[in-house]
Structure 1
Amino acid sequence: MSDAAEPGTIRTRIPARLDRLPWSRFHWRIVIGLGTVWILDGLEVTVVGAIAARMTQSDSGIDVTSADIGTAAALYVTGACLGALLFGQLTDRLGRKKLFIATLGLYLVATVATAFATDAWYLFLFRFLTGAGIGGEYAAINSAIDELIPARNRGQVDLAINGSYWLGAAIGSLGTVVLLNTALLAPDLGWRLAFGIGGILGLAIMVVRRNVPESPRWLFIHGREKEAERIVDGIEAEVAAETRRPLRPPGESITVRQRRAISFREIARVTLARYPNRTVLGLALFVGQAFMYNAVTFDLGTILSGFFNVGSGTVPYFMAAFALGNLLGPLTLGRLFDTVGRKPMITATYLGSAVLIGLTAALLLIHALTATTFIVLVCLSFFVASAGASSAYLTVSEIFPMETRALAIALFYAVGTAVGGITGPALFGQFIHSGRTGLLALGFLIGAVAMVMGGVAELIFGVRAEQQSLENIARPLTAEEADREPAEQQALRRAERERDLSPEDRRRADERDLRVRERSSRNHDRETAGLRRLRPGPARSSSYSPGMIGNAGTASRWNAVSNQELDREIDDIAQTVEKRGTCSKDELAERVGARTWGPGRFSHALAQATREGRTRRLHRGVYRSGSGSDRERR
């Protein structure tokens, strides 16, 4: 359903309404319907690598050579890159839902068709189309997920979803042990069923995906705000009925000038010219992880058999262990990207994995590794690296305006895969073919350097995006157009909003502005004192004013919204403690509804309220009202 009204300038709270929702069954539908496609990608890549040798045998039912298998793999990667670019642009133009249905449909048809291959050309064609479907999924799915998942959970959910690739890889590794067992299945049947399994899983995902709505964020920007409002109304009603408590009032609204379409030239200009540092960051993160991952993933079996004499029948078990380590990384570390923060965690995972990979290279040089110790060290290295690699997709989906989001994901995925994903396996393949351990160690050292480059780029250009609305991290182009309204119109809008406030609400708003201004000043003094002033990366805003939300740039707007939200949380805590007299920390969290605030936010707000004297800690986590002063205790 679409709205017939012509695009205009509107003010909406849809982003704030979506971001303040508590976790619910609706969000699980998003994860299952959209996120599980990475399992299919992991399954595809692993299965093809495992069944390649069987397909080249004379009784396999298909006339292909080892060279043909390599060509098919290259065409799969090429299809993924081109599919990401094509479908990424269409996703931004036509909508998230149309494209995540179309790309999954293409994958389903192509992977099932591959099971009926009898000649090399047929295999080439449908491997290319399968890759195109998977590449399109990366763009359509990442953008849709980020626009539907609440800001406080976005990092953890994104990392877990991207890391689920390795669940598919583990299933593929163990599944091929059964499918290639000639005692159970004929030589010309087992490899065909391997492709069929992907189609069955994809069909089950399609059933769930049909119930996932279009992104309300995409709808209101493209002139379909009534449809966006209906979707959000339905989501809120479902979540409220499930949680059985009223929803927290939404935060700030945003003004946008709607447009039906935005030209590719404008999107490219914004991505490359307006955000050059973010462009460098995205490229560094993607190239680094693509080089290391594709090199090791494609060549791990050859390394095990060629350098550690591991039998071909045992390799799938080592591959399953490698996949398990990669899966556990994002699941274990993902929450820290929302609490500790994007910048420290991405830097730590890239640099930390580089150190472990470098250690692996050093031990290879002195021949100090066995097959077991080698795979243990590789698993540990990629346990850390996997969280970092998954965060590359999270980063580029957050740091560019909504109108460019899908294309940005597609562009960085395609470039990263083309540069790192092709050169990595090619270089490692030559080193492995030489049979020299020194060259293999050199390959790992080059991979470590690539990861270091990603970590350094994050340290310098990283964006503090944790628990922030997407619109605050990178303002939509249409919102910036609305901000260019004449000053008289902006003043009129502000006056209209103020007239809607009662005297009491206006008084409380003024008090909040004063508290936020003083808190911002104190925080700025801390940020610029001592060694803290030498920290690299984007600086925080040093001032606050009530009008900055509608008129300031992204960085100032981001801090303004963050400070106002923090003040609301502190105010909730102070008022609750004042009413109760004394209150335990757990009881206080329950009464203010801290579960909906996001990881770590309640503890931070409570600590800030105590520092400012609005609450006082007695003993064993019991708090009472403070002196009422808003001044920070020194």
Structure 2
Amino acid sequence: MGVETGRITTDIPARLDRLPWARWHWLIVVGLGTVWILDGLEVTIVGSMSDALKDPDTGLGLSSWDVGFAGAIYVAGACIGALFFGQLTDRFGRKKLFLVTLAVYMCATVLTAFSMAPWWYFMARFFTGFGIGGEYAAINSAIDELIPAKFRGRVDIGINGSYWVGAAGGALLTIPLLDPTVVPAEWGWRLAFGLGAILAVGILLVRRNVPESPRWLFIHGREEEGERIVREIEETVEHESGHRLEGVDETITIRQRKTIPFTMIARTVFTLYPKRTVLCFSLFVGQAFLYNAFFFTYGDTLSTFLGVDQTGYYIAAFAVSNFAGALLLGPLFDRVGRVRMITFTYVISGALLGVTGFLLGSVTALSLTILGAVIFFFASAGASSAYLTASEVFPMETRALCIAFFYAIGTAVGGISGPLLFGYLIDQASADKDITGIAIGYFIGAVLMIGAGIVAAFLGVKAEGRSLESIAQPLTVAEDDDQQDERAGAST
């Protein structure tokens, strides 16, 4: 296991990075990136339908704490799924796993729609998260390995930001589905979950045409297949662009292995790149607490404290701002640079969240939504950059598992504790109808975001416009161990 099977010199990375943008790249964006729409749809439906799920007659009789627990168990499933599928993605390839994880999601969300009791609902939410978590690892690694270097930052951030397209769609869907004059109350929330499965089927049909990562193939002894895929991509891009591609001179020599030992992966994260490990952990914890705490319980906050019966419009407006932030700020991560933009988006969103905590006593549903929209315009690009960072700054052999590791650890700290804390705070404060009782959650989120921004300012990696192999050389690069240790130590 993990023994060297041969050495090759290849120009595949340079050929992929020199490609101009073409329609073929949109296949990658649609086939792989749309999974974030599903995640946004799932989270928003749960947040928007909190009142429907609380009704013991037409729903499941959940309490505010139960709603928070459902959010937490969904995130717990995502963390475990990311770790489970992440190591399989690095071992068996990107394509096999991004098909399997989508199938897991589809089955679990159908089970959610047929929930007959709280325990069933919690179990289905866990496995829905399990599939989504696996998607994060498989998809981010595949996207970064197929998108040219000069477009990677904006594409990755834009795709991660498409979560909010699903969030807006989910929020608007809940408006008719929660209207008993349109759909019976006992069926509305079930149909909402069922629609997620229908969307997933459409994504699966597109995804079948996405190729395996050529970078993964040549490292695992399948260079002929990788070469064939790259030639087909080049022919397609030449046809679509109408221009003949120039040759490349840059090559890399690789020691091929069928599998990469887990001990080597662990050594990479904790020994060779300790500063990058701290950076990724900080970014994931900050954004996970902020989003999972605020957004999982946002609908509950509006209905409990601010007298809003139909939260869909408010959440949709909030979601549009998030997507706009990722879309408009994303190109700056390639032009201005990763370090500056990550620091800016984290610090400004954290500071604004802290100010909002102090203003809670005087907010209305409209003003809280406006404040949230401004905060998360910046935070959405920052949160997306956490995934971009984890997928760029570690060697290719560990990419999927590193994304999974930091997503799981960071989200476990911020994403599970956040919904539980906010659910508890809402339950405690609801007796007095005093919204200021949840301010402590805002202050914690502000501190975590600002802290992560400061860490990025000192430990961030200038990855804009650079090939993945120059940011972190593959572990299988053909050099002796002393050279590899020296090179890795210089790049921490």
Shorter-chain TM-score range: over 0.9
Structure 1 alignment gaps of length 5 or more: 1-5, 488-549, 559-634
Check 1:277–1:83 CA distance in 2 against 1; reply closer, same or farther (3 A cut).
same
With over 3 angstroms needed to count, the CA separation of the structure-2 counterparts of 1:138 and 1:265, relative to structure 1, is same
Shift of 1:391: 0.3
Look up the SS of the partner of 1:258 in the other structure: strand
Q: How many residues align?
A: 484
Q: Which amino acid aligns with 1:478?
A: T
TM-score w.r.t. length of structure 2: 0.93
Query: What is the 5 A alignment of 1:34-183?
Result: 34-60=32-58, 64-66=61-63, 69-183=67-181
1:354 matched to 2:350: yes
CA contact (8 A) 2:46 2:296 kept: no
Contact 2:217 2:225 in 1 (8 A): yes
Compared CA separation, residues 555 and 348, structure 1 to 2 (3 A): farther
For residues 84 and 348 of structure 1, the distance between their equivalents in structure 2, rounded to whole angstroms, comes to 28
Residues 374, 458 of structure 1: CA spacing in aligned structure 2 closer, same or farther, 3 A cutoff?
A: same
- Alignment-derived partner of residue 387 in structure 2: 393
Within the candidate set 202, 207, 215, 1:209 is matched to: 207
**Superposed CA offset, 1:110-147 (max 9, x none):** 11232222233432332221111000000000000000
For 2:450 and 2:374, the matched residues in 1 are separated by 17
State the distance in 2 between where 1:65 and 1:353 align. Answer: 32
Instruction: Indicate the SS of the match to 1:483.
Output: coil
* 1:408 partner SS: helix
Name the residue aligned to 2:309: 312
* Structure with bigger gyration radius: 1
Partner of 2:291: 293
Q: Which position in structure 1 is the counterpart of 2:443?
A: 445
Task: Indicate conservation of the 8 Å contact 2:90/2:400, yes or no.
Answer: yes
User: What whole-Å deviation, never above 9, does each CA across 1:396-443 have from its counterpart, x for those lacking one?
Assistant: 000001111001110111111110112223333344433555543333
Report how far residue 484 of structure 1 moved: 1.8
Q: Secondary structure at the match of 2:356?
A: helix
| Contact 1:287-1:416 at 8 Å conserved across structures | yes
Q: CA deviation at 1:7?
A: 2.6
1:146, 1:248 → 2: CA distance? 22
Which range is displaced more, 150-159 or 178-187?
Answer: 178-187
- Secondary structure of the structure 1 residue equivalent to 2:254: strand
SS at match of 1:9: strand
- Residues 437/133 of structure 1: CA separation in 2 closer, same or farther (3 Å cut): closer
Matched, 1:328 2:262: no
Report the CA distance shift for 1:426/1:118 in structure 2 as closer, same or farther (over 3 A): closer
Match of 2:26 in 1: 28
Identity %: 57
Contact 1:85 1:136 in 2 (8 A): yes
Contact 1:483-1:551 within 8 A present in 2 as well: no
Cα 1:359–1:68 shift into 2, 3 Å: closer
Q: Is the 8 A contact 1:164 1:327 kept in 2?
A: yes
**Structure 1 partner of 2:407:** 413
Structure 1 residue 160, shift from structure 2 partner = 0.5
Cα contact 1:333–1:387 (8 A) shared by 2: yes
Label 1:333 to 1:169 Cα distance change in 2 as closer, same or farther (>3 A): same
Q: 1:353 to 1:405 in 2, by over 3 A?
A: same
Structure 2 residue 258 is the aligned partner of structure 1 residue 260: yes
Question: C-alpha separation between the residues in 1 aligned to 2:391 and 2:451?
Answer: 20
1:484 to 480, 485, 491: 480
Whole-angstrom CA distance in 2 between matches of 1:477 and 1:301: 46
Task: Tell me the SS of whatever aligns to 1:8.
Answer: strand
One-letter code of the match for 2:267? Answer: R
C-alpha distance 263-333 of structure 1, shift in aligned 2 (>3 A): same
Residues in 1 aligned to 2:442 and 2:111: alpha-carbon distance in whole angstroms: 37
Q: Does 1:380 align with 2:377?
A: no
Residue 116 to residue 21, structure 1, CA distance change in 2 (3 Å): same
How far 1:324 sits from its partner (Å)?
1.0
Q: Is the 8 A contact 2:106 2:200 kept in 1?
A: yes
Q: 1:186 to 1:429 in 2, by over 3 A?
A: closer
Residues 472, 557 of structure 1: 8 Å contact kept: no
Following superposition, the deviation at residue 56 of structure 1 comes to 3.9
Paired AA for residue 108 in structure 1: M
Tell me the alpha carbon deviations over residues 163-211 of structure 1, each in whole angstroms, 9 at most, x when there is no partner.
0111101111110111122112222222221111101110000000000
TM (norm. structure 1) is 0.73
AA aligned opposite 1:20: R
1:234-633 aligned within 5 A: 234-307=232-305, 309-313=306-310, 315-364=311-360, 367-432=361-426, 433-434=428-429, 436=434, 438-479=436-477, 482-484=478-480, 553=487
| Contiguous gaps of at least 5 residues in structure 2 | none
Give the letter aligned to residue 32 of structure 2. Answer: L
- How far residue 331 of structure 1 moved from its aligned partner, in angstroms, is 0.2
The 2-side partners of 1:179 and 1:258 are apart by 53
| Distance in 2 (alpha carbons) for counterparts of 1:58 and 1:26 | 50
RMSD (CA atoms): 2.3
